[in-house]
């Protein structure tokens, strides 16, 4: 049985940095073959041109598809679903699909589209990443140039209604599995802390907010959330059920930095006595130390099968995947988080 292809939806207002984030992802794909669906408007395929050739091994020109017939959440049946089917029908099906929505598209209708019969058994929403402009929020705006957002909205005939930017912003936050506070290098520590507090009021429990400079985030932070968002639409409520649009973005920067803001290390231990109790222990350690991602496997006493653990924020998923066989019966967990994690305390807590 073929597993579902994971897809990540990247949303956020014009100029927040979605295209830059995707460029960095492609340049650091670690061998993962990524296909892109870009929601463009008008005749200027700016995002497509910026992304093509960014990393031919990770994402060649044939792996980039542009939807320019209107807002992605308004053209599901005639545009989005056929494009997804085309990607999924390929003999060289991609490892991961990344969908860059237009700046004013709502993520919720797009997530619901993953339940359409033609694709529901073949693809799943791995996660929704909402990119926000840190300095704009500091200055009391939702986008660097709100006037430009409104001009694009007014000029596009596919828009069927008016929606305040505040409501669009709230929808994007409510739907997120991760919020990227971009351009954080332009904020003072006090400013960043204040914005983090405001953002936390608009997100669901367990959703992480990750500071970023020019979208330079490790691919393992952005991909692999396994949220299956299409099965969780009720929790991602939306203020309204209409849609909008706008075109995207962004500027071209050097990406060869930013990973030093994150760290990864491995914790090893022997067998654990109880699988459920250990999963609860892992969740508590994640909450206490603000760990972004944890993955690995454990040896459970009396069980021949290996217990696999995957955690995004405090949500821990476990399942027994295969026998240990001749391999050592040990527990090994990879921890991913922002720089400054208390490794000694985390290791002590996980091996207790």
Is 292:338 a contact under the CB 8 Å cutoff?
Answer: yes
pLDDT digits (tens, 9 = 90+) for 324-336: 888 889 999 988 8
Q: What's the confidence (pLDDT) of residue 277? A: 95
pLDDT digits (tens, 9 = 90+) for 221-258: 999 999 999 998 877 876 555 444 333 333 333 333 44
Q: What is the rounded distance in angstroms from the CA atom of residue 108 to the CA atom of residue 74?
A: 11
Beta strands in 40-169 (DSSP E): 64-67, 96-100, 123-133
Q: What's the confidence (pLDDT) of residue 251? A: 35
* Pairing outcome for strands 305-312 and 293-299: antiparallel
Mean pLDDT computed over every residue of the chain: 80
Q: What is the rounded distance in angstroms from the CA atom of residue 243 to the CA atom of residue 107?
A: 10
Q: What's the confidence (pLDDT) of residue 28? A: 86
Q: Would you say residue 1 has pLDDT above 90?
A: no
* pTM, 2 dp: 0.74
Is 13:104 a contact under the CB 8 Å cutoff?
Answer: yes
Is 257:40 a contact under the CB 8 Å cutoff?
Answer: no
For a pLDDT cut of 70, what percent of the chain falls above it?
Answer: 75
Is 103:12 a contact under the CB 8 Å cutoff?
Answer: yes
Please give the DSSP secondary-structure letter assigned to residue 96: E
Q: What is the rounded distance in angstroms from the CA atom of residue 164 to the CA atom of residue 25?
A: 31
pLDDT digits (tens, 9 = 90+) for 105-125: 778 888 988 998 889 999 999
Is the pLDDT higher at 105 or at 185? Answer: 185
Please give the average per-residue pLDDT across 272-299, as a whole number: 91
């Amino acid at each position: 049985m073929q597993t579902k292809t994971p897809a990540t939806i990247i949303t956020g207002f014009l100029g927040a940095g979605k295209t830059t984030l995707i460029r960095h992802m492609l340049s650091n794909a670690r061998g993962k073959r990524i296909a892109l669906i870009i929601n463009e408007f008008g005749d200027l395929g700016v995002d497509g041109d910026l992304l093509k050739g960014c990393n031919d091994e990770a994402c060649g020109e044939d792996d980039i598809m542009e939807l320019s017939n209107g807002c992605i959440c308004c053209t599901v049946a005639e545009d989005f679903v056929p494009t997804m089917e085309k990607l999924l029908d390929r003999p060289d099906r991609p490892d991961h699909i990344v969908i860059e929505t237009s700046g004013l598209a709502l993520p919720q209708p797009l997530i619901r589209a993953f339940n359409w019969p033609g694709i529901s058994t073949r693809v799943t929403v791995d996660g929704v990443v909402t990119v926000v402009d840190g300095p704009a929020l500091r200055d009391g705006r939702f986008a660097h140039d709100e006037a430009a957002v409104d001009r694009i909205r007014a000029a596009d005939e596919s828009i069927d209604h008016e929606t305040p930017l505040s409501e669009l912003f709230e929808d994007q936050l409510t739907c997120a599995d991760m919020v990227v506070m971009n351009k954080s290098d332009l904020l003072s520590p006090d400013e960043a802390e204040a914005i983090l507090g405001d953002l936390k009021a608009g997100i669901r429990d367990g959703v992480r907010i990750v500071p970023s400079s020019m979208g330079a985030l490790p691919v393992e932070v952005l991909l692999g959330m396994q949220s299956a968002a299409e099965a969780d639409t009720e929790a991602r409520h939306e203020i309204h059920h209409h849609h909008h649009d706008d075109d995207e973005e962004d500027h071209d920067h050097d990406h060869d930095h930013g990973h030093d803001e994150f760290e990864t290390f491995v914790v090893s231990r022997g067998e654990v006595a109880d699988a459920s109790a250990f999963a609860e222990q892992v969740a508590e350690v994640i909450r206490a130390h603000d760990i972004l991602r944890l993955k690995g496997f454990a040896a459970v006493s009396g069980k021949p099968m290996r217990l696999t653990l995957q955690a995004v924020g405090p949500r821990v998923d476990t399942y027994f995947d295969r026998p240990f066989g001749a391999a050592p019966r040990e527990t090994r967990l990879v921890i991913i988080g922002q720089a400054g994690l208390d490794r000694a305390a985390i290791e002590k807590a996980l091996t207790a």
